[in-house]
Amino acid sequence: MAETAKILNPKSTVVVPDLEAGCSLADGCKPEKFKAFIASHPGSKVVSYINTTAEIKALSDLICTSSNAVKMIEYLEGERIIFAPDRHLGRWVSKKADRTDMILWPGACIVHEQFSAKGLATLKIRNPGARVLSHPECDDSVLAQSDFIASTTGIIREAVDCEEEVLIIATEDGVFHQIEKELSVKGRRKTILQAPGMDETCSCNQCPYMRLNNLEKLYLCLRDLSPQVTVQEELRLQALRPIELMLELSK
Ligand code: SF4
């Protein structure tokens, strides 16, 4: 995200609390291997999720978010499409856009992939009437049991607006606070349950990358304007093209 901000705003100083706060999706899609993957499917258009490095964006024709992915795929009607890096999101988008022929890079988010379909089924039995809200980065077996599938923003909105008083959420647990905050503005409260992980002894629903950011580091990066995000100019221009196309198509 910070790199995308720098790509779009080259003259601005872009700082982050911790340069190591990346993403397993970005880590699991290295440029050299991705280049070879693209070369093995000649003639394909490459659509990459926003959670990728500048190098992967530079190899792409179009960028998408989980909110606009279906729209971006529909724009490429008739084209052979490579989708990267999240295979679960890719599979969900391909179904929604009726493009089951999409070629998926075999990446996954370490947080969303760990939700347990069996655990979710048990939790649903214990909480009849609960509404299940999931992010499309979850495995198909979890999505198949969900009442609502959407991006983080979509999940927060639905959690606040829906009638159900008990919610089961299958995404990173950082959204809980946001949902509770928005509910409290409306003077409401709901019971929010985390979808169980495969290993119930760990907090696998918490993203270790996001958790590297904390208030102290945020304060220090604003005070010292460091560490700064930099993107080499030639790479920036290559990565800018598919991002700008996404922004144009999103108007
Ligand atoms: S939860 Fe963490 S690892 Fe998963 S997509 Fe978000 S930032 Fe990446």
**In the chain, where the domains are located:** 2-109+230-249, 112-194
Cα separation, 135 vs 112, whole angstroms: 8
For residue 27, the SS3 value is: helix
Nearest Cα residue to atom 5 of ligand 1: 109
Q: CB-based contacts of 9: which residues, under 8 Å, 6+ apart?
A: none
What distance lies between CA 151 and its chain's CA centroid? 7
Domain 112-194 CATH superfamily: NadA-like (3.40.50.10800)
Question: Which amino acid would we find at residue 84?
Answer: A
Note the pLDDT of residue 200.
73
CA of 111 to the centre of ligand 1 (A): 6
- Please give the number of the atom of ligand 1 that sits closest to the Cα of 24: 3
In this predicted model, what pLDDT tens digit does every residue of 153-174 receive, in sequence order? 999 999 999 999 999 999 999 9
In this predicted model, what pLDDT tens digit does every residue of 61-105 receive, in sequence order? 999 999 999 999 999 999 999 999 999 999 999 999 999 899 999
Task: Provide the residue-wise pLDDT of the chain in tens; the chain has 251 residues.
Answer: 899 999 999 999 999 999 999 999 999 999 999 999 999 999 999 999 999 999 999 999 999 999 999 999 999 999 999 999 999 999 999 999 999 899 999 999 999 999 999 999 999 999 999 999 999 999 999 999 999 999 999 999 999 999 999 999 999 999 999 999 999 999 999 999 999 998 777 667 899 999 999 999 999 999 999 999 999 999 999 999 999 999 999 98
Nearest Cα residue to atom 2 of ligand 1: 207
CA of 22 to the centre of ligand 1 (A): 8
pTM of the model: 0.94
| Phi and psi at residue 228, to the nearest 5° | -95, 150
CB 152 within 8 A of CB 179: no
* 18, 50, 109, 213, best to mutate for ligand 1 pocket (most atoms within 8 Å of CB): 109
Q: What is 2-109+230-249's CATH number?
A: 3.40.50.10800
Cα separation, 23 vs 1, whole angstroms: 10
Query: Are 2-109+230-249 and 112-194 the same fold in CATH?
Result: yes
